[in-house]
Amino acid sequence: MDDQQILQVFMLEYEKLKEEQAQRIGFRDQMIYITLGIFGGVLSFALSNKTNSYALLVIPWVCLILGWTYLVNDEKISAIGKYLRLTLTEKIKAHTGHPDLESIFGWEIAHRSDRRRERRKIEQLIIDEITFVCSGLLALFTFWFSGTTLPWIVHFICAVEFILLLILGIEIVIYADLDKGR
């Protein structure tokens, strides 16, 4: 395979990865709306009648499952960007014989170098925590402190939900990708 064919393969790889990244962004962003919609529906049902209060225990599971799905997609979006910025760019530089080229895919770095990026990423981190962790915790505490005497198994389920929500909250912070530039 000659250098021109290899470059075509790299460019095809770039196009396919950008397509996957765009699809994942759309899917990831829908997770917030879906979570809020389900949260509102279950909350409405649970608060409509005191006997429906156990429905509040569904909300933490919804937050966990959709929050984890959101997090996994967000991580893959960032991983694709990192691969394009660091690995694919270096492969292209090596095959063109021009190691001194500025980043070939300039946008992949430029949008990460914005002076407001850190603030935006922190705000997004807060929104993610509110959407997927705090809303689950709110439902859990609302149920837990509803004044009803609960069997031990329900306390156990609540404790498991609480621990899993805390783990999700920590994972969201770990994967927040607050770095600038490369």
pLDDT digits (tens, 9 = 90+) for 123-182: 999 999 999 999 999 999 999 888 678 899 999 999 999 999 999 999 999 999 877 655
* Cα–Cα distance for residue pair 89/10, rounded to 1 Å: 9
The pLDDT score that the predictor gives to residue 138 is: 94
DSSP state of 112: T
Which amino acid appears at position 161 of this protein?
Answer: E
| Per-residue model confidence as pLDDT tens digits over 65-100 | 999 999 999 999 999 999 998 899 888 888 887 776
> Residue 2 — pLDDT band, cuts 50, 70, 90?
confident
In which region does residue 177 sit, left (phi positive, over 0), alpha (psi from -120 to 50) or beta (all else)? left
> Residue 102 — pLDDT band, cuts 50, 70, 90?
low
